[in-house]
């Protein structure tokens, strides 16, 4: 069975939770869990490649301060705390600014990445009373150093394509298995790097295409990550056809909050990636479903994963 993780990016202190809730009402009403990857301390003067202010910044927010920090009394923080039973929270960078090379985490030293992540975790924990276990880099941009810190600090890192060269050598076998199987999950650091197929749902996607897209992106995936951006879907007062269709198609499927996804991945047979890669060959890996990865089997300890807390 494929697990589904719905990830909404770019929520921040300027985000209007009333509008956010309205955009996702079909999913919320269907009892489908959502995960919000939140920018802890959003930079207010960040511009997109077109020179315009980033679309995830509330246009009515003036940039008299450099950043807007998520605080306990911030409306979005209050909404997230009130909906804790249905929504999960991940950390989306620290400020979502183009710090270096057009990205926030794409060109950092280890000490710089540590400093940003510690600050972000501190902000989110104070505002939300939870310490997020998942991380999303703005624009999915990591360097080897920042990915190393992220996989040491978080149980789940959600990203697009991940190069082997950006991973520690102890993750290379797991990475090979991921490339062959298309399962989208690599054991790394203290937990898991979970790949997504890109931003396949946008405001231009037709509702009638949603089912086919879901089938395609979930075909081989152990965890099918559905990446959404609320600011693409909240243009009109009515729910967007993509969100309406997702609510219908995902009802009754294994849609989870991020903490549950981590638990399910942790329950995989210890050492599944290495044993499958080394001993059973690609044909077995290419079979369908969870069983190809040895769910429920017991075996050697996951000695390639590094020290997991
Ligand atoms: Zn973003």
Write the pLDDT tens digit of every residue in 162-205: 999 999 998 998 899 888 888 889 999 888 999 999 999 999 99
Would you say residue 309 lies in a domain?
A: no
Would you say residue 97 lies in a domain?
A: yes
* Distance from Cα 147 to the centre of ligand 1, integer Å: 16
Would you say residue 64 lies in a domain?
A: yes
Check whether 306 has a pLDDT greater than 50.
no
* Distance from Cα 137 to the centre of ligand 1, integer Å: 7
225 confidence band (pLDDT: 50, 70, 90): very high
Contact between residue 43 and residue 56 where contact means Cβ atoms under 8 Å apart: no
* Distance from Cα 89 to the centre of ligand 1, integer Å: 14
Check whether 268 has a pLDDT greater than 80.
no
Would you say residue 11 lies in a domain?
A: yes
Check whether 274 has a pLDDT greater than 90.
no
Mean pLDDT of 45-52: 84
Q: Which two tokens stand for residue 66?
A: 């450099």
CA–CA gap between residue 273 and residue 33 (Å, rounded): 28
* Distance from Cα 209 to the centre of ligand 1, integer Å: 24
8 phi and psi, to 5 degrees? -100, 125
CA–CA gap between residue 171 and residue 305 (Å, rounded): 7
Mean pLDDT of 65-81: 95
Mean model confidence pLDDT for the chain = 85
Check whether 288 has a pLDDT greater than 70.
no
Q: Helix 241-249 and helix 210-218: axis angle, to 10°? A: 50
Check whether 72 has a pLDDT greater than 50.
yes
CA–CA gap between residue 231 and residue 175 (Å, rounded): 33
CA–CA gap between residue 179 and residue 181 (Å, rounded): 6
For residue range 78-121, list pLDDT tens digits in order.
999 999 999 999 999 999 999 998 899 999 999 999 999 999 99
CA–CA gap between residue 46 and residue 56 (Å, rounded): 10
* Distance from Cα 154 to the centre of ligand 1, integer Å: 18
DSSP state of 100: B
Would you say residue 106 lies in a domain?
A: yes
* Distance from Cα 96 to the centre of ligand 1, integer Å: 7
The percent of the chain in helix, strand and coil, each rounded to the nearest 5, is 40, 20, 45
Would you say residue 20 lies in a domain?
A: yes
In sign, the C-alpha dihedral spanning 144, 145, 146, 151 is positive
Would you say residue 185 lies in a domain?
A: no
Contact between residue 90 and residue 127 where contact means Cβ atoms under 8 Å apart: no
Q: What does the pLDDT read at residue 34?
A: 97
Q: What does the pLDDT read at residue 177?
A: 86
Q: What does the pLDDT read at residue 136?
A: 98
pTM of the model as a whole: 0.86
Query: CB atoms < 10 A from the CB of 197, how many?
Result: 18
Q: What does the pLDDT read at residue 48?
A: 81
* Distance from Cα 93 to the centre of ligand 1, integer Å: 8
Q: Domain range holding 247?
A: 3-160+196-266
Q: Which residues face 193 on adjacent strands?
A: 157, 186
What's the CATH number where 212 sits?
3.20.20.370
Total number of domains constituting the chain = 1
Would you say residue 72 lies in a domain?
A: yes
Most confident segment among 54-58, 93-97, 176-180, 276-280: 93-97
* Distance from Cα 135 to the centre of ligand 1, integer Å: 11
Q: Which residues face 136 on adjacent strands?
A: 92, 158
- Residue among 78, 81, 70 nearest 41 (CA): 70
CA–CA gap between residue 268 and residue 186 (Å, rounded): 12
Q: Pick 225 or 47 by higher pLDDT.
A: 225
Check whether 275 has a pLDDT greater than 70.
no
301 confidence band (pLDDT: 50, 70, 90): very low
């Amino acid at each position: 069975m494929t697990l589904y993780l719905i990830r909404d990016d770019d929520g921040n202190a300027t985000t209007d939770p009333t509008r956010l809730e309205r955009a996702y009402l079909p999913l919320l009403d269907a009892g489908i869990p959502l995960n919000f990857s939140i920018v802890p301390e959003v930079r207010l003067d960040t511009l997109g490649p077109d020179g315009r202010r980033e679309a995830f910044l509330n246009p009515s927010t003036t940039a008299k301060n450099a950043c807007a920090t998520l605080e306990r009394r911030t409306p979005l923080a209050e909404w997230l705390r009130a909906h804790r039973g249905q929504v999960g929270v991940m950390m989306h960078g620290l400020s979502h600014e183009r710090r270096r090379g057009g990205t926030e985490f794409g060109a950092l030293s280890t000490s710089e990445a540590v400093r940003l992540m510690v600050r972000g975790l501190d902000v989110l924990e104070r505002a939300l009373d939870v310490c997020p276990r998942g991380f999303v880099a703005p624009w999915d941009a990591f360097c080897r150093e920042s990915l190393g810190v992220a996989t040491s600090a978080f149980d789940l890192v959600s990203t697009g394509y991940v190069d082997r060269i950006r991973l520690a050598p102890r993750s290379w076998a797991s990475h090979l298995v991921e490339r062959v199987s298309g399962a989208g999950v690599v054991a790394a650091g203290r937990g898991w790097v979970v790949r997504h197929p890109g931003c396949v749902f946008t405001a231009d996607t037709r509702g009638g295409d949603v089912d086919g897209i879901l089938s395609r992106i979930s075909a081989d995936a152990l965890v099918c990550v559905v990446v959404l951006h609320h600011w693409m879907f909240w243009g009109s007062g009515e729910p967007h056809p993509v969100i309406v269709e997702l609510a219908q198609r995902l009802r009754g499927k294994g849609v989870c909050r991020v903490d549950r996804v981590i638990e399910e991945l942790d329950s995989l047979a210890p050492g599944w990636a290495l044993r499958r890669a080394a001993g059973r060959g690609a044909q077995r890996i290419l079979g369908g479903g969870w069983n190809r990865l040895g769910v429920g089997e017991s075996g050697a300890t996951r000695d390639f994963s590094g020290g997991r807390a």
